[in-house]
Amino acid sequence: MTIGILAMTSACQEPQFVEPTAERQGITSLTAYFTSGKFTEMEIGKLVVPEGENPDRYVIPIPWFYPEESDDVTTLHMANVRVRAELAENCSIYPPLTLMDLYQEHTYTYTNAQGESKPITITGERVKSKTTNMLGLNLLDPETKEVVLEGFVDNDNKSVYLFTIDDVSGLIAEVTPWYHASVKGADAILDEDELPTGVYLFDTPQDWNQEQIVTVIAHDGKTEGDFKVIKRNPEKISYGFNPETVKELFNIDPVSRLGVPAYITPVNSSLAYVGGYLVVSHGDGSAPMYLDGRNGSKIGEIATGGLTIGAVTSDEGGNMLLCNHLDAAGTFNIYRTKSVTEAPTLFYSYDSEVSLPMGAKIKVCGNIDTEARITVSYEGVAGVTSASQFVEFTVEGGQVVDAKVYDLASAGISWGSYPENSAGLVPSSAQAGDNGWMYASYTINGMQWIKPDLTAGQQIVTDDMDNAWLLNPNCLESKVFNNANYLTLLVCHHFPAWDKQPSLWVYDLADPSSFTGNYQNSSSLVTYNSWLIYFNATNAADNLTQSSGDVVMAPSADGFKVYIYYYDHYAGMIGGYSADCVKK
């Protein structure tokens, strides 16, 4: 199977330099590198000198924000960078380049291959992005503002396709342009604190059956990109998503950007995707918040109808599931909704007789309107007991037809309390009694297939056992998308101050018996990012193990895209990716 790498923009590797040919004269390029912070030794800006040009003054462009999708300005970094030159053979710069303040003009002597010298000046300039890409376009009902259709964005061809045969006249549109860009003629949507969300609204209904033009204005305020919005009939590839279409949507600091609880605050994090929004619950009694699923901007809090929410998740049919949390035996309720603005209604009520907590996590594979399996693990009690049991709710015909407790003690499998000592446990498929379950935990440093007879099957373990103690592979998700059954693993971070990143892995779950090898060499591996950027680089002395997180995978409403979102609370990161199944 082809391996697609998940936007490895965060890979921390030593810079490599390629010597130009001897025929080329002059300075080929000047590259500036970070000298502090999490991006140390990574490139911050680069000036490529066109062949044949030998200027006397070189200005290295430094992006206004880094990463571009963040709000983190480069003002301070530009004052202290390391600059390296790529030179033609036998050329030199004196004195040697080293640390540099690019706000200043620096004079050097350049000598070419013939021994001829001249003074040159090197400086820098912060520049705003000229990118005119689009992150998303949704058609909305003008009365309810609910999403009717999600557009498929093709940035390469500056087009947005509306894959539908339905009438799409009389609808309004919301557009999410590239980071820090804007949309011509549209109004900026503000959040509950009157701050811009990065989303723009055309509030006049239009006939989207006809081709329309939407113009994105880059952050520089000058560069424009016209997108054709075109209705057309869809065609899919036969299986799964195209790994080469995987792209990063956002990766942000949830504390500074979203106002979530501080990193050291104990929470039971969970995620869901519904109606184009990413829902984040902390299981602490607060109302879950919802974010724009395309750029991570906070929109508000979901309607709870007065319920106290433990955990959230979402199925493959556009439903969000919510549950309460039990500290001991009692009534466990599962609720459902299809909108962040509609209060959840009761889906199923279950009397738990096991004297252990439950409801910090809930997972589902399938569509609760038709057929699905829902798993909820019991939780150990710190300093008292571990847990080895979980409840599976079988859904057929849109109704729960069975609720059964399973115990993995006979397989030698157990886990501790949420969040850090917990396990990830998800159904291997949507069909009852089919293929068993997938289990992941810190104890086994990886994932394991639990067979239908509750015996332990094949494993995939970390390929970095020396650093396994730093990481917590206990966040799992299984979903069917375009005939393919996928398993997603988020490996959380126990000790963010140590130099080892969290990671995200996607596997083909068609045959759980093929789950062998390590994370990166398994034949089931589809795509991955082994080096996710995170924003908390400190360890709190009394809270070294609060590695709470979650991962969720969800199809778009039109079925042509799939989204993967992840959240590591203690490492301080929340982000997402998308991929499509469109036949090119």
Q: Each residue of 478-528: pLDDT tens digit? A: 999 999 999 999 999 888 877 788 999 999 999 888 888 999 999 999 999
Q: Residue 500: what pLDDT?
A: 80
Per-residue pLDDT band at 38 (split at 50, 70, 90): confident
Residue scoring higher pLDDT (273 or 245): 273
Q: Residue 11: what pLDDT?
A: 33
Maximal C-alpha separation, the chain: 87
pLDDT over 80 (residue 252): yes
CB 548 within 8 Å of CB 574 = no
Per-residue pLDDT band at 162 (split at 50, 70, 90): very high
Level-2 CATH architecture, domain 134-232: Sandwich (2.60)
How far apart CA 342 and CA 334 sit, in angstroms, is 15
pLDDT over 50 (residue 100): yes
For residue 493, what is the enclosing H or E element? Answer: strand 484-493
How far apart CA 463 and CA 489 sit, in angstroms, is 14
Mean pLDDT, the chain, whole residue set: 90
Per-residue pLDDT band at 400 (split at 50, 70, 90): very high
How far apart CA 6 and CA 530 sit, in angstroms, is 9
Lowest mean pLDDT among 60-64, 257-261, 308-312, 464-468: 464-468
Could you check whether the bond before residue 119 is cis, i.e. omega within 30 degrees of 0? no
Mean pLDDT across 537-561: 78
Q: Residue 37: what pLDDT?
A: 83
Tell me the residue type at 100. Answer: M
Level-2 CATH architecture, domain 6-127: Sandwich (2.60)
Mean pLDDT across 120-145: 95
How far apart CA 579 and CA 6 sit, in angstroms, is 10
CB 423 within 8 Å of CB 478 = no
CB 561 within 8 Å of CB 152 = yes
How far apart CA 256 and CA 278 sit, in angstroms, is 18
Mean pLDDT across 268-276: 94
What is the spatial order of strands in the sheet that 484-493 belongs to? Answer: 4-5, 525-529, 503-508, 484-493, 471-481
Residue 562: count of CB within 10 angstroms of its CB: 25
Q: Do the domains spanning 6-127 and 134-232 agree at the CATH topology level?
A: yes
Among residues 346, 337, 332, the alpha carbon closest in space to that of 379 is found at: 332
How far apart CA 191 and CA 199 sit, in angstroms, is 10
Task: Collect all residues with Cβ–Cβ distance below 8 Å to 121 and sequence separation of at least 6.
Answer: 56, 57, 58, 105, 106, 107, 108
Q: Tokens representing 344?
A: 């959840």
How far apart CA 64 and CA 76 sit, in angstroms, is 11
The pTM (predicted TM-score) of the whole model is 0.77
Residue 370 C-alpha from the chain's centroid: 28
Q: Tokens representing 143?
A: 């009365």
- First-to-last alpha carbon distance for the chain, in angstroms, is 19
CB 440 within 8 Å of CB 489 = yes
pLDDT over 70 (residue 6): no
Residue 208: count of CB within 10 angstroms of its CB: 25
Q: Residue 377: what pLDDT?
A: 95
Residue 128 C-alpha from the chain's centroid: 25
- Which residue in the block uniquely carries the two structure tokens 């990118």? 131
pLDDT over 70 (residue 227): yes
- Which residue in the block uniquely carries the two structure tokens 């044949």? 52
Mean pLDDT across 32-47: 92
Measured CA to CA in angstroms, residue 352 lies from 33, 104, 156, 183, 500 at distances of: 57, 68, 53, 52, 40
Mean pLDDT across 308-336: 96
Per-residue pLDDT band at 546 (split at 50, 70, 90): low
How far apart CA 512 and CA 364 sit, in angstroms, is 17
Q: What is the DSSP letter of 452?
A: T
Q: Residue 545: what pLDDT?
A: 54
Q: For the domain 243-580, what is the CATH code? A: 2.120.10.30
Tell me the residue type at 225. Answer: G
What is the spatial order of strands in the sheet that 389-396 belongs to? Answer: 363-366, 371-377, 389-396, 399-407
Q: What is the DSSP letter of 260?
A: P
How far apart CA 62 and CA 124 sit, in angstroms, is 7
Q: What is the β-pairing status of strands 561-568 and 573-580?
A: antiparallel
By three-state DSSP, how is residue 315 classified? coil
Q: Residue 357: what pLDDT?
A: 94
CB 470 within 8 Å of CB 547 = no
For residue 471, what is the enclosing H or E element? Answer: strand 471-481
For residue 170, what is the enclosing H or E element? Answer: strand 169-177
- Domain range annotation of the chain: 6-127, 134-232, 243-580
Lowest mean pLDDT among 9-18, 62-71, 233-242: 9-18
How far apart CA 382 and CA 464 sit, in angstroms, is 28
How far apart CA 105 and CA 119 sit, in angstroms, is 12
pLDDT over 80 (residue 4): no
Could you check whether the bond before residue 419 is cis, i.e. omega within 30 degrees of 0? yes
- Which residue in the block uniquely carries the two structure tokens 């999410």? 176
How far apart CA 322 and CA 309 sit, in angstroms, is 7
In percent, the amount of the chain with pLDDT more than 90 equals: 68
Q: Tell me the chain's radius of gyration from C-alpha atoms.
A: 26
Among residues 137, 131, 132, the alpha carbon closest in space to that of 153 is found at: 137
